[in-house]
Amino acid sequence: MGRLDGRVALITGAGSGIGKASALLFASEGAAVVCADIDEASCRATADEIRAAGGEATAVVSDVSSDADVSAMVHIAEDTFGGLHVLFNNAGIMHSDDGNAQETTEAIWDLTMGINAKGVFLGCKHGIPAIERSGGGSVINTASFVALMGAATPQVAYTASKGAVVAMTRELAVVHARSGVRVNALCPGPLRTELLMKFLDTEEKKQRRLVHIPMGRFGLAEEMAKSALFLASDESSYITGSEFVVDGGITAAYVTPN
């Protein structure tokens, strides 16, 4: 018996990285998965892989910074599979031109906040009512360890956007706790994904991250997917409003509790 049997999960950024790994894992645990991504080929490939393995999936092209697109993907989940129980607001960007406050342009700031923060807001705006209509469930918002500490390589827009995700998660968790909707922030450490490797595009930048990680390695998308599965399942039934940190020990080494 799968840990998500009978559930419908909507995952944004499902074409690659954490999103793809989570879509495949959630489907293997019994969920019907809506694979949303701005890149049509990649989200269709993820859905095809799920169906080839005997699972249920559909692909939808969606720009998470668009209210109309996000509303549409939630309605597709309900129309196709009859409801929504798990919403994984995972889509995000880390732009190579994101630097310190002096270097980062307004355009990069707006682009990053539009996808990373507004995208989570819109997902929750449309997804939480659908989850309530289905009798309750789980919202997982991808934040980052940099929401809890400064980044060694400057990325002010990204860091600010992920801090917004953590704060938004806390408030939504409190607001919706009595309606059967749990809301948690997944805070990955540095990962060996295409997103981060494009940003850490020199060996020097990679080493500046690795030196701070007690485990001495980058994490894997599959490890984040397993953490997301825990938050999606009933195994985390008393967890809401949390910063679920999966970071190889980096925040334990550097963050001092208040």
What is the pTM for the complete model shown? Answer: 0.95
pLDDT tens string 163-184: 999 999 999 999 999 999 999 9
Residue of 28, 32, 30, 40 lying closest to 11 (CA atoms): 32
- Give a yes or no: residue 98 inside a domain: yes
- Give a yes or no: residue 48 inside a domain: yes
Q: Which domain holds residue 77?
A: 8-247
Cα 219 from Cα 70, distance rounded (Å): 29
pLDDT tens string 144-154: 999 999 887 88
- Give a yes or no: residue 235 inside a domain: yes
Instruction: Tell me 241's DSSP state.
Output: S
Number of structural domains found in the chain: 1
* Encoded tokens for 12: 């944004």
pLDDT tens string 92-145: 999 989 999 999 999 999 999 999 999 999 999 999 999 999 999 999 999 999
Does position 22 have pLDDT exceeding 80, yes or no?
Answer: yes
Residues catalogued as catalytic: 158
For 64, 106, 139, 216, 258, the CA distances from 89, given in Å and listed in that order, are 9, 24, 8, 28, 28
pLDDT (0 to 100) of residue 91? 98
- Give a yes or no: residue 38 inside a domain: yes
3-state secondary structure of 76: helix
- Residue 222: partners with Cβ closer than 8 Å, 6 or more residues away: 21, 25
Does position 69 have pLDDT exceeding 90, yes or no?
Answer: yes
| Strands across the sheet containing 181-188 | 56-61, 32-37, 8-12, 86-89, 137-142, 181-188, 243-246
Q: Which helix (H) or strand (E) holds 69?
A: helix 67-81
Q: What is the CATH number of the domain that holds 173?
A: 3.40.50.720
- Give a yes or no: residue 1 inside a domain: no
- Strand segments (E) across the chain: 8-12, 32-37, 56-61, 86-89, 137-142, 181-188, 243-246
pLDDT tens string 175-228: 999 999 999 999 999 888 777 777 777 878 778 778 888 998 899 999 999 999
- Give a yes or no: residue 3 inside a domain: no
